[in-house]
Structure 1
Amino acid sequence: MSAESTPEPAITEPGTKGRRAKGRRRKAPGKRHKALLITAWTAGGVLVLGGTGIGYVYFKLNGNIKSVDINQALGTDRPAKADNGSENILVLGSDTRSGSNKKLGGGTDDGSARSDTAMIVHVYKGHKKAAVVSMPRDTLIDRPECTDTKGATHPAAKGVMFNESYSTGGAACTVKTVETLTGLRMDHYLEVDFAGFQKLIDELGGVPVTTTKNIKDPQSHLDLKAGAHQLTGQQALGLVRTRHGVGDGSDLGRIQLQQAFVKALVDQVKHIGVFTNPKKLLDLADTATKAVTADSDLGSVNSLSDFADGLKGISSSHMHMVTMPVQYDPANPNRVIVQQTKAKQVWTALKNDQPIPASAVKGTATGEAKGVVTSS
């Protein structure tokens, strides 16, 4: 990955129209988290509150949301939209090096950001089940030429890490890279910063998980004994960032922990009855909309509400979570490469709105952390 400064993705800041945020990007150590669609679920659900305060609530939350115009940046040279009732959402984490994120992630307050992991969420027709495919940041790929949201064009690059697309051209180049790799159209884009992620977990009252082994990683400030835990926001952030505390120390092991945590998080949201508790819903929606950057089609409370309404019925038991089929790079064990034949099975299944076959992930590199974390 290049250490050169690269442009910040152009975004619409809260309370502005078309003003672009400024900042730099830099390479940084790979400590990442990711959050799933709790942001959209909680933000969208606020419109069920009703009452005389709904106008204030609407404008308050609407003013929180940042958006990025992916469609304008990428133009028409993209895979066709699916016509089978399914949707694909690219979900990223980001850790802007400013404000409260600086304290959580270290580094300088320079406004730069990075994203080390990503996942494709495929919502099947009927919106009752979903498949989630994690994209390891350490995957070596050929990145396509792409245009960022400021209109700058970045030349193609061969044999670079997957997350180099984000540090090079932000959200638009990441979407372009994913669409080129998969042949799938990304209908939506959601990005969540880790300061907001930590606060969301605390406002939920924590998330219950069970660890089957001790997990200790000074680098992510995590120390969990085997057993049941009600993770605080800080502990949850440590869990989804750790890569040295469990498994083979790779990003693949971290992804397995993240996938287990996401399922526990979805269960917790349903357990505490967020959508039937107006005060809890409003608090979470306020935090969620401040933490999220969405594509312009989702860049308002109304749009998030419509989007979220179709996702509330998906439980963790109806989420099939896998990692993009990869194998360790023979030339560098710290990197992975795509197992093209098996990956094609995944992309073909999702394109046809079919379940991902077990054969697609059998015999692939895993990270050896599966089963270490489960829902309590």
Structure 2
Amino acid sequence: MSSASYKTSDFDYELPPDRIAQTPVEPRHNARLLVMWRDRPDLEHTIFWEIGRYLNPGDLLVVNETRVIPARLWARKPSGGRVELLLLKKIADHTWESLVGGKRVRPPMRLQVEGGPPAEVVAELGGSRRLIRFTEPIEPYLPQVGQMPLPPYIHEPLRDPERYQTVFAREPGSAAAPTAGLHFTPELIERLKAQGLSFAGLVLHIGLDTFAPVTEEDPTQHRIHTEWCELPPETAERINATKRAGKRVVAVGTTSVRTLETAARVAAPGEWVAPFVGPTDLYILPGFEFRVVDALVTNFHLPRSTLLMLVSAFAGRERILEAYREAIRLNYRFYSFGDAMLIL
């Protein structure tokens, strides 16, 4: 079916609240793994440490190397009132699109970041979004004054902020972690490499829009969020070589899928991807034709979300919802700190 045939309510499901993982599994690679095949009805249940059993020598795992920034700040209004700022996207050297928690925060109000520089509200962007311009770059202050912006459904404080970073994280810029990558450990990476698998990196900086449910009844009317991404030349070369050799490109996470399929849109004839740097507004719904991704490592996603629609496009809506029902029945853990799926 094409995307036009679906309603947003077709991507809904009931999740008992106690299935939402509040803390991560230790060690990371001990998370459970549900394995499903797109060409047969089987489901298998194992742990993430065993993922190599389902992959072949020569397969390439493509991972998102973004790093979550401690993007939650506090500032004071001229009246002394406290305002919460959540940095979403860097627009210019000193200017960020931000979510603002506080009343009557409008241009041209001046704010004083607690422990940081002064700032000015320069524009309203709808809802609680504001354009905030700092008097100097805010990044050097973040390690001291910022807090890690955990998703709204996680209520337990995080004892170790690094636990919300993947082992691949190197390029700061995300407001959320690429959670499929959270299951990898150095030991597992070495185990997979010894098996003849290889890894390549890309970057997509995740905004909090990724968690927002689709509110329009027709999902095609939803305004998809744009995110900055980069597929470097060396990764593009390795992907094209992998495909030419008849091996599989395994996307680790929906963010990797989005970047890879964006890079496919600018590929030369005879190639699968080309290097790409810039914003992507790619919206993947059922009916989408995947050009690059052969297999997908992913977590369990929120109802009515663009991420659930993406995995439904890859594996079929009915198959995905059937697998989710089975995962709920078997007490899998859902969302950012939850268990994983491998879709082949």
TM interval, shorter chain, is under 0.3
TM-score normalised by the chain length of structure 2: 0.27
Higher share of residues assigned helix: 1
Q: Which of the two has greater strand per residue?
A: 2
Q: Return the TM-score normalized by structure 1.
A: 0.25
